């Protein structure tokens, strides 16, 4: 009796990756069709992460693998929520690679994530000009916001610190304070609460003299 040749059923083709930077209709749908809330969320993402595209590289270079994964995992959720498929794919791949603390983090995964995050930020900037997002605040209101931020930084509380960070990023501040706030912003984004606390305390003290 002759052997019957084995029949190999080809595996179904995998779905091609969605390389779209932003799918606004899908994003709005996730916000229950509330366009105002969706675009406000985009504004907050842009405000919070506009200087952060290279954050995973910097954290990994400093040996802060856990903090790098926290950042990537956070961006994975954000990308899925606002309808940013290309970043979501890149963040998912890097996040899953970093689950194992002993795994090698291949540079191409990090590079792809950083590129896609920057592409998203650039896209948001095109469709949502900053002057339509931010309201201007003065020294007194800024001091009040810093008073809210400082206890969270002292406690090393990521959620509380980032909630106040969102408020700061949604505001336009006097030009002479922008550098100080960017310093605080980068430190919070990198989970460097010690530096953020020092910088925020210095700024708060300087505001008392104005």
Written as one string, the DSSP assignment of 16-84 is PP---S--HHHHHHHTTT-HHHHHHHHHHHHHHHTT-TTHHHHHHHTT-HHHHHHHHHHHHHHHHHHT-
Q: Which is more confident, 58 or 1? A: 58
Residue 22: name the closest of 2, 1, 41, 3 by CA.
Answer: 41
Confidence of residue 177 (pLDDT cuts 50, 70, 90): confident
pLDDT of residue 10: 44
8 Å CB contact between 175 and 209: no
Give me the DSSP letters along 6-32. Answer: PPPPPPPPPPPP---S--HHHHHHHTT
| Mean pLDDT within 162-189 | 87
Q: Which is more confident, 5 or 31? A: 31
Partners of 135 in the β-ladder: 171
CA distance 100 to 85: 24
pLDDT surpassing 60 at residue 135: no
Q: What is the pLDDT of residues 30-78, one digit of tens each?
A: 999 888 888 888 888 887 888 889 999 999 999 898 999 999 999 999 9
| Mean pLDDT within 1-7 | 47
Please provide residue 15's backbone torsions phi and psi, each rounded to the nearest 5 degrees: -65, 135
What is the enclosing helix (H) or strand (E) of 139?
helix 139-155
pLDDT of residue 44: 82
Vertex 123: Cα angle to 118 and 127 (nearest 5): 150
CA distance 115 to 67: 19
How many C-beta atoms lie closer than 10 Å to residue 73's C-beta? 17
8 Å CB contact between 38 and 82: yes
8 Å CB contact between 194 and 63: no
pLDDT of residue 32: 92
CA atoms within 13 A on the CB side of 29: 7
pLDDT surpassing 60 at residue 113: yes
| Mean pLDDT within 96-120 | 89
| Mean pLDDT within 175-190 | 90
pLDDT surpassing 60 at residue 11: no
């Amino acid at each position: 009796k002759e052997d019957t040749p084995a029949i190999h059923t080809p595996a179904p083709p995998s779905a091609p990756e969605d390389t779209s930077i932003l799918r606004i209709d899908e994003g709005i749908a996730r916000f229950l069709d509330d366009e105002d809330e969706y675009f406000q969320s985009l504004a907050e993402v842009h405000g919070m992460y506009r200087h952060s595209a290279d954050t995973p590289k910097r954290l990994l270079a400093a040996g802060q693998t856990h903090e790098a994964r926290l950042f990537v995992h956070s961006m994975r959720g954000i990308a899925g929520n606002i309808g940013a498929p290309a970043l979501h794919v890149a963040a998912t791949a890097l996040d899953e690679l970093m689950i194992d603390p002993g795994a090698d983090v291949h540079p191409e995964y990090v590079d792809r994530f950083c590129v896609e995050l920057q592409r998203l930020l650039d896209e948001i900037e095109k469709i949502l000009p900053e002057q339509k997002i931010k309201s201007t605040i003065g020294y007194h209101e800024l001091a009040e916001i810093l008073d809210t931020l400082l206890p969270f930084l002292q406690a090393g509380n990521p959620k509380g610190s980032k909630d106040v960070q969102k408020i700061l990023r949604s505001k336009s501040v006097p030009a002479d304070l922008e550098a100080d706030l960017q310093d605080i912003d980068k430190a919070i984004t990198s989970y460097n609460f010690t530096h953020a606390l020092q910088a925020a305390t210095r700024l708060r003290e300087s505001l008392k003299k104005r």
